[in-house]
Amino acid sequence: MSNLFALRSPALLVTALLACSDYQPPLVASSVAAGGRHTCAVAISVAPFCWGGNEAGQLGLGQEDAATHPRPERVAGNLTFSQLTAGLSHTCALASGGVAYCWGSNFSGQLGDGTIIYRAEPTPVVGNLRFASLSAGALVTCGITGAGSAYCWGDNSAGSLGIGDTTGPDVCRGGACSRTPVAVSGNHAFAILSTGGLHVCGVTTAGGAYCWGANGWGQLGIGSHTVQTTPAPLDTTLEFSSISVGSAHTCGVLTDSAAYCWGFNQYGQLGNGTEADAARPVRVSGTERFRVVHAGGFHTCGLISDATAFCWGLNLSGELGNGSFTTALNPVAITGGLRFAALTVSASGHHTCGRLASGPVYCWGNNAFGQLAAGTAGGSFNRPLRVVSPSPD
């Protein structure tokens, strides 16, 4: 027996056990977000649930621990949320009226509560801002207000706060940071904002695409590898309708539904049939027209018009969901024939989740910490696995 098979064999065992066990009703959700080692969802009842690793309190259960949590568990505090976003080891959410809450790791001030203290349950972001959307990255969180103003908080060592420098305004354990939301420079009105490793990109209400922060692999799409501390326009005349930031690559969908990616491409996550990095947007191979594309750690997934999901890039843990563990340099369809209303890809890990229009959630990829909610932790799944119902009280 090979070491590779031994590593993945727990997934086969879990699959067999699930097939023989009593039926477990699915988690029915309105949204889902994949983090580094955890996943969270807003149930139809607008109650938040999380599962997976909890070493930094990112599940929001009221305590941090080294145990795995392979079934959805109710986030502490009896709050209800309209949206969740998951970073490497932290989670943020929007409550009624656009009030933002975050919990989990706060090494770089990414919780925005004015401290660098880890929080094991939802804690309000300071500043009395009201947000229309949030996006959590590895060490940075950003949000857009109802007027389109962008604010970020967390690590600023690579200029990912977009405030024009890499020196502050605060100092956290990891270096330069902001422990509270700061306004992104440029007075742009953003319709979409996406945060990944240490860079951020967005599309304005006027249709302009901008990126800032780390740029070692060309992930800003500006035609160079120069760090940008304020929003910089992409080096292209293409017009984007959406954009998504991964660990060190970025993808977007044009107004004509063509998909483009740029940045780090060692595992084919740009989807253009090569493994060459690109400092400018390159067209994703194939004839598919995409509704949305999500950039992950080292893979990318997207939905086409009929809700079929395609993925490409690294597949070491089965995160492409196509029934194999083989890296793909071009888009491949997810196995099982499911039609998804939404997808979420971990920008800091190796798993993917999707939500059907009727609400059930499916996940696939790395399950070392129970982040697929299979009912047990361990192994990897290379095809969609239905998320089980929350743990009984």
**Binning pLDDT at 50, 70 and 90, where does residue 174 land?**
confident
Average pLDDT over residues 336-360: 95
Average pLDDT over residues 287-302: 97
The tally of domains found in the chain comes to: 1
Q: Would 123 be classed as within a structural domain?
A: yes
Average pLDDT over residues 127-150: 97
Q: Would 391 be classed as within a structural domain?
A: no
Query: Distance between CA 148 and CA 321 in Å, rounded?
Result: 35
Res 390: pLDDT: 86
State the number of CA atoms in the 13 A half-sphere of 377 facing the CB: 17
**Binning pLDDT at 50, 70 and 90, where does residue 23 land?**
low
| DSSP structure class, residue 20 | H
Res 63: pLDDT: 96
Question: Is 12 a residue whose pLDDT tops 90?
Answer: no
Of 196, 104, 103, 210, residue with least CA distance to 155: 196
Q: Which residues pair with 199 in a beta bridge?
A: 213
Q: Would 393 be classed as within a structural domain?
A: no
Q: Helix (H, G, I), strand (E, B), or coil: what is residue 98?
A: helix
Query: Distance between CA 167 and CA 228 in Å, rounded?
Result: 13
**Binning pLDDT at 50, 70 and 90, where does residue 17 land?**
very low
Res 389: pLDDT: 86
Res 393: pLDDT: 57
Question: Is 1 a residue whose pLDDT tops 80?
Answer: no
**Binning pLDDT at 50, 70 and 90, where does residue 9 land?**
very low
Of 318, 320, 294, 293, residue with least CA distance to 304: 293
45-83 confidence digits (pLDDT tens) = 899 999 999 999 999 999 999 999 999 999 999 999 999
Question: Is 13 a residue whose pLDDT tops 70?
Answer: no
Six-digit token string for 70: 């392979």
**Binning pLDDT at 50, 70 and 90, where does residue 392 land?**
low
Q: Considering the entire predicted model, what is its pTM?
A: 0.93
Question: Is 10 a residue whose pLDDT tops 70?
Answer: no
End-to-end Cα separation, the chain, in angstroms = 41
Question: Is 2 a residue whose pLDDT tops 90?
Answer: no
Q: Which amino acid is at 86?
A: A
Res 280: pLDDT: 98
Query: Distance between CA 278 and CA 191 in Å, rounded?
Result: 25
Query: Distance between CA 375 and CA 14 in Å, rounded?
Result: 9
Question: Is 4 a residue whose pLDDT tops 70?
Answer: no
Q: Would 324 be classed as within a structural domain?
A: yes
Q: Would 392 be classed as within a structural domain?
A: no
Q: Would 180 be classed as within a structural domain?
A: yes
223-245 confidence digits (pLDDT tens) = 999 999 999 999 999 999 999 99
Q: Helix (H, G, I), strand (E, B), or coil: what is residue 161?
A: coil
Contact 380, 365 (CB under 8 A): yes
Q: Would 87 be classed as within a structural domain?
A: yes
Residue 107 phi, psi dihedral angles, 5° rounding: -50, -40
Q: Would 348 be classed as within a structural domain?
A: yes
Average pLDDT over residues 92-118: 97
Per the structure, the complete domain to which residue 219 belongs is given by 3-17+29-386
Six-digit token string for 286: 């194939």
Of 272, 284, 371, 282, residue with least CA distance to 319: 371
Mean pLDDT, the chain, whole residue set? 93
Q: Helix (H, G, I), strand (E, B), or coil: what is residue 282?
A: strand
Of 193, 212, 213, 195, residue with least CA distance to 203: 193
Average pLDDT over residues 144-169: 97
375-391 confidence digits (pLDDT tens) = 999 999 999 999 988 86
Question: Is 374 a residue whose pLDDT tops 80?
Answer: yes
Q: Which amino acid is at 123?
A: T
Query: How many CB atoms sit inside 10 A of residue 4's CB?
Result: 10
Res 131: pLDDT: 98
Question: Is 11 a residue whose pLDDT tops 70?
Answer: no
Average pLDDT over residues 348-370: 96
Question: Is 274 a residue whose pLDDT tops 70?
Answer: yes
Return the CATH number at 366: 2.130.10.30
